[in-house]
Structures are given as structure tokens and as C-alpha cells.
Structure 1
Amino acid sequence: MSIKKSPESWAPNADQDLGPVLILEPEEGKNFWQPQPANGHISVRISPDFLDVQTPFSLGTQTLPAGGYVREHSHPEHDEVLHFIRGTGKAVVDGEEHAIVPGKTIFVGRNRRHMFVNSSQDELHWVWFIQPNGLEHFFEEIGREMVVGGEDPTPFPRPENVLEIEARTAFAPQPADQRKPD
């Protein structure tokens, strides 16, 4: 990861407050295998842990294998954007199903229940953005670090204290009537 600061002489106004620039190569960032039921992996690409941003947010990618799903959940203080790049499946937002295809973008505001299901035989891959940040800490705590050339450890169970991890990162309590994939 390389964080770059431009020389002051590059600024249109030398008194201007310049923010950082972060350039990540494909293998950089923080990358984690994810436990059941999602399986697959995530890559945290931008986080306040990496650099100083004026408004805390995080951005990354997630990949679900065939049959994987992100269980229904909500974020109490967070707005989330998901942009699907590869694969097909379905999103369920507040009980309403939406087909996932490459190029689809979904915005999910705070306290909106949502889940994502890979119902295809191929990987489902998307970019996620969440503000304020916190989701990246959840992924790190429940996942296992990816090592270049290492073995895929999936499937593996979620940690026993997953509800405590959710509560202190970016999640509302799990709903009693939590939906499951069909």
C-alpha cells in the first residue's frame, strides 16, 4: 500500500489543504476469507485505518461462491452502496426480491433489512461502500487472513461471539424473524 502526498508546488493554491492519495495494487488492501454462510472472501480497499479521511467510510469488494449468501441484516447508523460486477443472484431488501446482474447498483439506507444470495453456479462479485465505516472491522474479526498462494479454508464456522462482534462494528441486532434464502 502506498500513501502519497503531492508536493505543495503541485497544488493550484499552495495554501490549499490537500488530502492523501492512496494507490492499491490488486493484491494489496486487507483480504480475508469469510465464514459460513457467506464463504468466499472480501478485500478492504479503503478504510480510515489506512489513511486520514474527512468523513469516515470504507470500501471493498466481496465475492460469494455458488450457494453462498450474506444473511439478512441491517445497519443502524450506516448507508451502504453495493455495485455488482460479476455473477447473478438475488438481493432481498425489506422482504422484496431483486435480481442481481452485473452492472446493478443497490443503495440501502440505515435500518433497512437486506441480504444477498448467490443462486448461480458462478461466483457473485461486488463492490461495497459504507458510511460511516465499521464493516471492515467486522470482516476482519470474523474472517481469516488471506495469504497469497495459501489454501482456501472455506467452509469454516462463524465465531461463537459473532453477535457481540456485530454489535460493536456496524450491525443492528439480528431480527427475530430473520429471512433465510430459498
Structure 2
Amino acid sequence: MAHYTIEDIARANPDFRKVLWTGKYAQIVLMTIPVGGEIGDEVHETTDQILNFVAGTGEAVLNGQSHRVEAGDLCAVAAGAQHNFRNTGDEPLVLYTVYGPPEHAAGASYATKVDADAAEAAGRDEPPHS
């Protein structure tokens, strides 16, 4: 069992992406999107994702429809849905996300989106296989 004061841990995270916990069927990932930054347009074919926003403001684009997001909001993204999240505010957009099943390498941490993208392209950010 793992216990986290998740909003405090998420707010303290300086990294673009940091895997906090990985189980057999789900994974918790912290993200801090810098001002003007974005997660990047993507589709997870076999993974559902739930994003919980704890600080900042941004824009969620889900299957071509745009919505404002801010602290306290939750977005559920079904497997196969095209999505992106952008920081449109003047402070970091901070969130934690739950993937089911895991989407990233256990324990992975990337300071920037460039680092995260490079790890994915090189095959170093593969989720564990059950």
C-alpha cells in the first residue's frame, strides 16, 4: 500500500513528468506544464487517463473540442481519444494523472518535455509488461 498527500506532492514537483507509483493495472504520474507549454497532441490506444488539476489554468482539447481547465477540475480521457492539454496561464499548470494500464516506465522522471519526448523516441519510457 502507498499513501500520498497527492495535491501537496504534485505542487512540489518541478518536473514535466514524474512517475510516482506504478501498479499492475494503473499508474500515478505527476506533471508540471510550464507557462506556454503543453503535454502534446496524443492518443493512447489502449489506456484510459484521468487528469486532476491542482494549480494553474489551461486548455483541454479532447477530440477537437476545447475546454478551459483550472485547479479542482478533472478530465477523463477514454482510450483512443485524441487529446492535448496546454498551459494558458501565467503560472505552471500542475496536475496528477492516473493511467490504466500504466503508460510510462516505472520510476521515470523527466525535467522537460524535450527530455520526455527523447526518452519515448529512444524506447526508454516503455511501461512495465505484466
Task: Choose which of 88, 103, 107 in structure 2 pairs with 1:134.
Answer: 103
Separation in 2, partners of 1:95, 1:108: 13
Gaps of 5+ in 2: none
Q: CA deviation at 1:84?
A: 0.7
Read off the aligned partner of 1:126 and give its amino acid letter: L
How far off its partner does 1:44 sit? 2.1
Tell me the alpha carbon deviations over residues 8-50 of structure 1, each in whole angstroms, 9 at most, x when there is no partner: xxxxxxxxxxxxx224588x9xxx97xxxxxx423322213xx
Q: Evaluate the alpha carbon distance shift between residue 42 and residue 156 of structure 1 in structure 2; reply closer, same or farther with a 3 A threshold.
A: closer
Q: TM-score, normalised by structure 1?
A: 0.56
What is the distance in 2 between the residues matched to 1:45 and 1:86?
18
Which residue of structure 2 aligns with residue 10 of structure 1?
none
Where does residue 29 of structure 2 map in the other structure?
A: 60
Using the TM superposition, give the Cα deviation of residue 156 of structure 1 relative to its aligned residue in structure 2, in angstroms: 5.0
**Contact map agreement 2:108 2:125 (CA 8 A) in 1:** no
Partner-residue secondary structure (3-state), 2:25: coil
Query: Are 1:44 and 2:19 matched, yes or no?
Result: yes
Structure 1 segments (4+ residues) deviating >6 Å: none
Other-structure match for 1:113: 82
Report the Cα distance in structure 1 between the residues aligned to 2:125 and 2:20, rounded to whole angstroms: 23
Q: Identity, % of aligned pairs?
A: 20
Over alpha carbons, which structure has the higher Rg?
Answer: 1
SS in 2 for 1:71: coil
The answer as to whether partners of 1:87 and 1:120 remain within 8 angstroms in 2 is yes
Q: Matches of 1:118 and 1:103 in 2, distance apart? A: 15
User: What CA RMSD, in Å, does the superposition of the two structures yield over aligned residues?
Assistant: 3.2
Q: Deviations over 1:65-93 (max 9, x none)?
A: 10111110011111100011110010101
Aligned mates of 2:107, 2:121 — CA distance in 1: 13
Partner residue of 1:94? Answer: 63
| Alpha-carbon distance, 1:167 to partner | 9.2
Q: Distance in 1 between matches of 2:121 and 2:27?
A: 21
Distance in 2 between residues matched to 1:110 and 1:93, nearest whole Å: 12
- Size of the aligned set, in residue pairs, is 123
With a CA cutoff of 8 Å and minimum separation of 6, indicate the structure with the bigger relative contact order: 2
